[in-house]
Structure 1
Amino acid sequence: MKQPKRTLHELKIALAILRMNSIAGSARHRVISSSALFFCWRKSPPDTLIEVLRARISGRYAQDTFEDLIKRVEDIILGRRAPDVEAFLSARTPRGAGISSTIRNSEYKKALEDAVDIPEELLPAMESEMSSKTSAVGESFDYSSPNSYSRAPVQQIYTTYSIFYGTDRLQEPGRTVKFGGFRSDDTITYGVAAVSIPHIHREGKLERPWLWPAQTKGNPNKHIVVHSNELMALDAWFTSAEEYLSHQGIGQDPSKKEGLLFVHGYNVGFDAALWRAAQLCHDLKFPGLMLCFSWASLGTPGGYPADEATVDWSAGNLRQYLTHVTEQLGLSALHIVAHSMGNRALLSVLENWKHKPGTTPIHQIILAAPDVDTSRFKQFGQVFDTFEQVTLYASRHDRAIAASRFVHSYPRAGDANPPLVMSSLSTVDVSVAGKDMFGLGHSYIANVSKVFRDLFYVVRHRHKPDQRAGIKKRDGGYWELT
């Protein structure tokens, strides 16, 4: 794969981190591991390296030091051997010679010395702050550890759900299963994750330890937590799904053989997609198979252009995943919830979707806050009558959609200024739902209980708008949340 071109700004930050790592006394005093930096350097799309690194850095010391580097980037001077280190960063690692062994080499450390000059006043600050910042953490909590937020709870007061996922994210090296925001080599990885919802959960909320690093696992009695993640070959994945449905007792309740697929939107990491899928399953009291397709979003606010390119690339992989789900699992019906930019991939697939006799029919399609050009959405809408019901949730207060409209200079389907009205489409204006927990007005589909209760009647009971409480018909032909 061709290496992305890096900016001078990115090169300075990368070399400065490597130089700091070479003189750091221990791993906990590093901003990010050198091997992780190498991986991000080689895989991050152009102009996204800083955003990608920022999302991966955990721990108060590391985060503060990284931000100090960003502020002082103009004071970082590249030396005569900077081209040599840059070439090593971009080169493929020779077989049998790992990055970790190479960076411990004395010649490599000497090359770093000659490659980058960090301001003298910054280096002493780095050394003195190591003790002050880490001592503030104390022995009871290690910010860099994803599993250290809390000790194992004495009593289990949470419920665990199995999420049958497919992803076209690149699996990253490490001892545990980890997917970041980089694209795979056009392959889909299948697996099953166990995700818990605490009994203190409030409908429509996503309980996470927001004040701590995103990598923090959390306390399952208080937070939504991914407990395990098992990768599977496709045949084993099919078998596992069939066994799960069998254990659910499908003979007693036909709805237990239905499937619900969640396709996330922009700025969503892999674990966050699993959290949302589990939350949907829990709050909708969905008795069947919970599915999730996680496309390779960078999972950073600054990754919008890269996510736009990736979601189009992911459409083919979503089609393959959806084909396997509808043709191999023997489900009686499939419902799909897509959010934000994820609607682009889904609508691209549905535009040419043909239901084959004997396969699972797609019944309810929920398009939440679709970041899709309105005119293009109307073209997609020509096939809406082939599905049982297509529901559009839109809002006048969706700031992310408003920003997208400004960037693209054309209206978006997720905007309710005014609501989009089409045949074979049930449009619901949810502007009265108010702002969400992120303050961006864009995650109302999963954060506002009024919207969620309407969604409950759509997915669980397949009710048409005139059968649902809490919404009323407006003169413009759309429905409005009351």
Structure 2
Amino acid sequence: MHSPRHTAASLHVATVVLVALACCSCAIRPLQGVLVPTNETVEAVSRVPILVATTRTRSSSDPGEMFSRELSNEIAFGQVTVSIPPDHARAVGEIQWPVTPPGDPRRDFVTASAEYLDRVGFGGAITTVAKAGHRSKAMVFVHGFNNRFDDAIYRFAQFVHDGRLPVVPVLFSWPSQGVASLSSYEYDRKVAMQSSAPLAQLLDTVNSNPSIKEITLVCHSMGCLVTLEALHMKASRGGTMPKLKNVALVAPDVEFDRFLSQVREMGARRPRIGLFLSQDDIALKISKSIWGGTTRVGDINPEEEPYKSEIAQQKILVFDLTHLGGDDSHSRAFDEVSTVMGMLERRLAQGQQLGDDTSRTASAR
């Protein structure tokens, strides 16, 4: 039952949350048909294959949606190839949605191909993409609140492309309602809590593929709740995923105490953890109000106690993105991916790995 303080806070932010908790840009986007493949072939575009595992049901109303916002009892699989226009025709960090699907590949993000897969076909697709791109590293991405399936596909493709990431991209999409409202936020959190076991199963599948030698797990916002639950579940049951080397938590909408407890309980054999935060994250400040003032991991000041000591003790590497600015403080890691990747490269060039000394937060210097 909600406390009076919780109820009052929820009522106070109910109208604001419609906008501020949106995890995607405010660009106008079509409501249907986005994932219907285009037949037009254009030179100089980039094509990013996204492998998909999801707990959403297949869409019965919109073939261009593929998967709906309804929860399925089983994991479903697919593959979507996203065509991204040439660099001179777009701004890095942005998704250029078509006004009317399927769009013009010269200036829009468009879907080049989309297909459903079974479990065996999904494993084969991982191998195919790995061999075609001469890649042995996989990146598994878990999206956050207020994400439709097509939102998550295009955002991940943008992130991989703009970051020039030499990985096999694997999306785990849980059934967010894709609506920015207070009731949808609370529903999404409930569904997110139910999605950790399927994510753990997906990680096992990727880990067992002989074409993959290393896995990086990236989560955003409420997706970090799913991620931490999955990792905690695996650790508590004695399960291991030796290929999972790094976990990047981007603007995690997770209570700090819960986060710290779960990281501790994962033990010393856990993967290296990197935390990407912004102290001016408006969305997380609203989330904090909704949950009665409980501190969120993604907007702490990592130089303040007790956060500084606790993070250092757990050997978590911190990247404070506050200084990057921009209109969307909750998604700036994706909008400013080139800068963020530069920060990572400089840290690694210094001989550090995720999980090394955290006495200093990362900067863009």
Whole-angstrom CA distance in 1 between matches of 2:290 and 2:276: 21
C-alpha deviation, 1:290, in angstroms: 1.0
SS of 1:163's equivalent in the other structure is strand
Aligned with 1:415 (options 292, 299, 324): 299
- The equivalent of 2:8 in structure 1 is none
Distance 1:480 1:405, change over 3 A: farther
- The percent of aligned pairs where both chains have the same amino acid is 23
- The equivalent of 2:317 in structure 1 is 426
Equivalences for 1:143-158 in 2 at 5 Å? 146=33, 155-158=42-45
Aligned with 2:256 (options 362, 371, 374): 374
Aligned with 2:51 (options 164, 182, 185): 164
Deviations for 1:413-445, whole angstroms, at most 9, x for unmatched residues? 00133554312201121111112xxx4421111
Whole-angstrom CA distance in 2 between matches of 1:352 and 1:156: 46
Deviations for 1:138-185, whole angstroms, at most 9, x for unmatched residues? xxxxx88747x9x9767433111111110101112157362121111x
- The equivalent of 2:281 in structure 1 is 398
Equivalences for 1:348-363 in 2 at 5 Å? 348-354=229-235, 360-363=242-245
1:365 pairs with 2:247: yes
Distance 1:417 1:456, change over 3 A: closer
C-alpha deviation, 1:232, in angstroms: 1.0
Whole-angstrom CA distance in 2 between matches of 1:167 and 1:202: 29
Distance 1:456 1:208, change over 3 A: farther
Distance 1:317 1:449, change over 3 A: closer
Aligned with 1:238 (options 119, 123, 126): 123
Whole-angstrom CA distance in 2 between matches of 1:144 and 1:239: 32
SS of 1:301's equivalent in the other structure is coil
C-alpha deviation, 1:294, in angstroms: 0.6
Deviations for 1:321-367, whole angstroms, at most 9, x for unmatched residues? 1111112354100011100000001001112335867x651112110
SS of 1:352's equivalent in the other structure is helix
Uncovered stretches (5+) of structure 1, i.e. residues with no partner: 1-50, 52-142, 250-255
C-alpha deviation, 1:406, in angstroms: 1.0
Q: Which amino acid aligns with 1:223?
A: D
- The equivalent of 1:333 in structure 2 is 214
Distance 1:479 1:281, change over 3 A: closer
Larger CA Rg, structure 1 vs 2: 1
Whole-angstrom CA distance in 1 between matches of 2:31 and 2:230: 40
Equivalences for 1:209-220 in 2 at 5 Å? 209=98, 212=99, 216-220=101-105
Aligned with 2:196 (options 312, 315, 328): 315
Equivalences for 1:238-277 in 2 at 5 Å? 238-249=123-134, 256-277=135-156
Whole-angstrom CA distance in 2 between matches of 1:414 and 1:145: 32
Uncovered stretches (5+) of structure 2, i.e. residues with no partner: 1-17, 19-29
Deviations for 1:75-126, whole angstroms, at most 9, x for unmatched residues? xxxxxxxxxxxxxxxxxxxxxxxxxxxxxxxxxxxxxxxxxxxxxxxxxxxx
Whole-angstrom CA distance in 2 between matches of 1:412 and 1:367: 12
SS of 1:386's equivalent in the other structure is coil
Whole-angstrom CA distance in 2 between matches of 1:385 and 1:414: 23
Q: TM-score, normalised by structure 1?
A: 0.60
- The equivalent of 2:171 in structure 1 is 292
SS of 1:393's equivalent in the other structure is strand
- The equivalent of 1:123 in structure 2 is none
1:346 pairs with 2:227: yes
C-alpha deviation, 1:315, in angstroms: 1.1
Whole-angstrom CA distance in 1 between matches of 2:61 and 2:76: 16
- The equivalent of 1:442 in structure 2 is 330
Q: Name the structure with the higher helix share.
A: 1
Distance 1:407 1:156, change over 3 A: same
Whole-angstrom CA distance in 2 between matches of 1:455 and 1:204: 16
- The equivalent of 2:12 in structure 1 is none
Whole-angstrom CA distance in 2 between matches of 1:373 and 1:308: 12
Contact 2:343 2:363 in 1 (8 A): no
Q: Which amino acid aligns with 2:301?
A: N
Contact 1:198 1:221 in 2 (8 A): yes
Whole-angstrom CA distance in 1 between matches of 2:39 and 2:123: 32
